[in-house]
Amino acid sequence: MTKPESEWTWKELPVGNVVLEPGNASQYRTGDWKTLMPVLTKERCIHCGLCYIFCPDMAYSVNEEGYFIADLFYCKGCGICARECPTGAIAMVEEEK
Amino acid sequence: MGKRVGMEVSIAAAEAVKQANVDVISAYPITPQTHIVEHLSELVANGELDAEFVPVESEHTAMSVCVGSEATGARSFTCTSSQGLALMSEIVFITSGLRLPIVMIIANRTLSSPLSIWNDHSDVMSIRDCGWIQYFVENGQEAYDHVFCAYRLAEDRDVLLPVIINMDGFILSHVIEPIEFIDQEEIDRFLPPYKPLYRLHPDQPVTMGAFALPSIYTETKKAQEVALLSSMPKILETWKAFGDLTGRYYNPIETYKTEDAETVLITMGSFGETASVAVDRMREEGRSAGLVKIRLWRPFPFDAFRKAVLGAKNLVVIDRAISLGGPGGPVASEVKAALYGEESKPTVYNYVAGISGRDVSPSDFIKMVDKAEIEIEEGKKDGYEIYGVRE
């Protein structure tokens, strides 16, 4: 997709609005739905990966240091990770825009 | 030239679907559509038609199966009536949005309640704005012929829209008529194999039926409407090619004795033949009457319609469906909209008649014209009544 969908004219739409680019849902920013964002306190993290497992948007991935970090481009701020974290390492805090 | 055979119209329509060499048929039986799909299932079971017949538990699923099969590039067919169409309607709208060239015959039947198995147009009028190309056929030959026209048109790369063939339940579906069959070689020349623009295939993955945000939905509908409106030249081209093949030329609007006619009847579907008998009788009596038959309901042929009626003084529009709480029947609404911008226009008088299969004879049409002419003469501008109601 060379330009955002909101700039497409009707003439540029493929017949039947077929999506020709496989996997382009990854370009969809669901991160701007959130009001709260997860913040990790590394000292408490035991690297169990429950946040990664429970995240409904697969926003979590492991960084080089072995911590699970939410990609805020996708994170909707649902707070499931914070709820499931067994050590309380994740806090949901208001996102500053 | 093919041979002429006496045959039930449903069977002839099913034979046409066979000759159109469909790949997938999915349908659920409902009166009065049953004979069409019953015959198709026999043809498949007997090995006379190399197609998948998918028996389903509902019309909602029948159309869903067709959407899936058409999306893979298989020529697909379904058929329904009344309550079946109502149950299917969710997927009917999806089909046109996805631009899948499915062909469906509707053996038109009344919607409940009260429960009625007989004919009128209330079923298809409930999905009037579904975005399909919609024909109304007048007799068995037209029903047979339009299966080929429908597939050729639907699958045209410049069209890619589904097509509904409306044929009056019982009045056409269950009547034996002489049908002139077209040789298979000629059909094969007229209707080449379907080459889909996009299809579901692992080699080239695509997504069909994706979600659209408010930021793009309006553009999708504009594109869909333009596609439907600009199918008109192809609709005409398809009928011309069919006429060149068979000698039977069809038009979006058919006129009968309208030259210099003061009063013109407007009908859609099988009413046309009966109304033409009424026009003949009125002409014999020296009355200035004519008939306009609407064959193409969507996209509505506004220009051809205006050209056909603008010389007349009175239009008597016969609807076979009620638009409850509206300005009259759905056809009359369209007719009035078509004429609104004209400086000098005929007066429209609207009847709803023949609902739930009640017979409308030539003398009924004459009575409707009589009353309309008198009341318009007396100054009535917006006549509307449900014809033949016992007071």
B27: left (phi over 0), alpha (psi -120 to 50) or beta: beta
Return the CATH number at A35: 3.30.70.20
Residue A15 lies in a domain: no
Tell me, yes or no, whether B225 and B268 share the same domain. no
Tell me, yes or no, whether B178 and B206 share the same domain. yes
Tell me, yes or no, whether B378 and B330 share the same domain. yes
Mean pLDDT estimate for chain B: 97
Tell me, yes or no, whether B258 and B229 share the same domain. no
Tell me, yes or no, whether B225 and B263 share the same domain. no
Contact B351, B368 (CB under 8 A): yes
Q: Is the pTM of this model over 0.90?
A: yes
Contact B208, B98 (CB under 8 A): yes
Task: Give per-residue pLDDT as tens, B291-302.
Answer: 999 999 999 999
Q: How many structural domains compose chain B?
A: 2
Q: Which chain B positions have a beta carbon within 8 Å of A13's beta carbon? A: 216, 219-220, 223
Residue B226, chain A, CB below 8 Å: the answer is yes
Return the CATH number at B158: 3.40.50.970
Q: Which DSSP string corresponds to B168-215?
A: ETTTTTT-EEEEEPPPHHHHHHHSPPP--SS---TTS--B-S----HH
Domain of B378? Answer: 253-386
Residue A84 lies in a domain: yes
Task: Give per-residue pLDDT as tens, B246-270.
Answer: 999 999 999 999 999 999 999 999 9
Q: Do residue B207 and residue A18 have CB atoms under 8 angstroms apart?
A: yes
Q: How many structural domains compose chain A?
A: 1
Residue B391 lies in a domain: no
Cα distance between residue B77 and residue B350, in whole Å: 35
Q: Which of B211, B229, B246 is the last residue of a domain?
A: B246
Pick from A63-67, B1-5, B36-40: least confident: B1-5
Tell me, yes or no, whether B215 and B258 share the same domain. no
Q: How many helices (H) and strands (E) does chain B have?
A: 13, 15
Tell me, yes or no, whether B136 and B257 share the same domain. no
Q: Which of B218, B246, B274 is the last residue of a domain?
A: B246
Contact B128, B330 (CB under 8 A): yes
Residue A12 lies in a domain: no
Domain of A49? Answer: 29-94
Contact B96, B131 (CB under 8 A): yes
Q: Do residue B198 and residue A14 have CB atoms under 8 angstroms apart?
A: yes
ipTM: 0.89
Asked whether the CA dihedral B320, B125, B289, B379 is positive or negative, the reply is positive
Residue B322 lies in a domain: yes
Task: Give per-residue pLDDT as tens, B382-391.
Answer: 999 999 999 9
Q: Which chain A positions have a beta carbon within 8 Å of B214's beta carbon? A: none
Q: Which chain A positions have a beta carbon within 8 Å of B205's beta carbon? A: 22
Roughly what angle, to the nearest 10 degrees, separates helices B362-377 and B271-284?
70
Residue B207, chain A, CB below 8 Å: the answer is yes
Q: In chain A, which residues touch B (CB < 8 A)?
A: 5-6, 8-11, 13-20, 22
Please return the burial class of B249, using the count of CB atoms within 10 Å of its CB with bins 0-12, 13-18 and 19+: exposed
Residue A90 lies in a domain: yes
Q: Which of B189, B223, B246 is the last residue of a domain?
A: B246
Per-residue pLDDT of chain A (97 residues; tens, 9 = 90+): 568 888 999 999 999 999 998 888 888 899 999 999 999 999 999 999 999 999 999 999 999 999 999 999 999 999 999 999 999 999 999 987 6
